[in-house]
Chain A
Amino acid sequence: MHETPQNAGYMIAAYVVTAVVLVGYWLRLAGKIRRGTRD
């Protein structure tokens, strides 16, 4: 019988990286918009 590989760590890393990149970019834009409001 085929055994399912145990590789959850890679999947978790990919989901974390994706969230960090997208939220990070959103925060970067939000910071620029805030500065644009202040200037």
Chain B
Amino acid sequence: MKLLDKYSRLNITATILTFVIGSLTFYFLLNYILVRELDERLQAEQDEVTAYVRTHNALPDVVKTKDQYTTYEPAISAAKTEFQTRKDTGREAENIREIHFTTAVAGRYYMVTVGTPLEETEALQKVIIIVTLAMVAAILLIGFLINRVVIRRLWQPFYTTIERVQQYSITEQQAPAAAPTDIDEFALLNRTIQEMMERIQQDYHSLKKFTGQAAHEMQTPLAIIRMRLDALLQQEELAEKSAVNIAEIEQAVSRLSRLHQSLLLLTKVENRQFVLNEPVSLDKIVADKCAEYVDIAMAKGITIRTDIQPLQLQFHQQLAEITVSNLLSNAVKYNQPGGQVELVLHGSLRVSNTSDRPALDGARLFKRFYRDSVATEGTGLGLSLVKQICDLAGYTITYEFANGRHDFIINFRDNISDFLQN
């Protein structure tokens, strides 16, 4: 529910309630005052009758008018004066206010009743109900108009701010400036968001700087190890004795270097430091990568079969290459001797390979440093990186296992339709 609707609902309920209570109070109060006034008039009538009886020792003549009537009835004893409202059973069926009192004339008691109709108060009741309804209707109408026109305009800065936050990208150098507003709450909101953006941006840039520096600091020692190893290799008589050791150190250095590069790349992908706006011919990349891996595959007796249709994506060249390369490298590396790799690019990319390994754990497959129990080589980051890249681009990657074949399928469809629409 919108804040405006919620507020309106509350407001309208409160308004109606206030009016109803107010009107009721008003009505009863007025009624009470008017009846009191009538009662005073009736009392005056009683005084007149009593005075007349005292002086003349006879009842005054009955004068019946539209507004007032008097009746006398013989009574047994003196009774207390009392007022009463009763419904007239006559033609107009109106309420009547009466005073009953007894007076003694020549030793006999008479019950005197003086009555007057209550039509004024009934008219008043009607007027009050009509006015109340009219005012409630007017308030609702005015409230509705204010909400539709004025409040929407009043809230405009809020929506502007929301839009600004939505369009905010951390890779921008500067946080976008807020639209000025003279409403304190919105100004506070803008100021807070601005401060937050600047803080995030600062953190982001220092992190970026840090990863860059860390890369430099780590690559330099790696470079030294690699070069010293090369120097060691040249001392042949020494190298021959420790050939296995040197070769293993060299492989470990390569692996460490790759691991480090993958981690850096993964961090950059997660930080969304790549802008995916390059036109990429995926068919060309797949074909190129297959050509690169042919030698390695052939050495293991693996055949690579391709079925490629042209596919243009709005993507990132380097990331596209890494994605294809990682999937293909896995497909070759974890294959069995004499096995097959199949790449099918028909709107989606399917990389399929034979392997004597069992199905992978689908739930943990794309986690960092996941390896199945048999795998020893590899950084354990390849699939995680592919998954992150797919997430970044809005692609979906799925894994299937059937009949000894491991399939990785990337679906580009959403992105393609976006691309066509643009």
| A, B assembled together | no
Q: B: which residues have CB within 8 A of A?
A: none
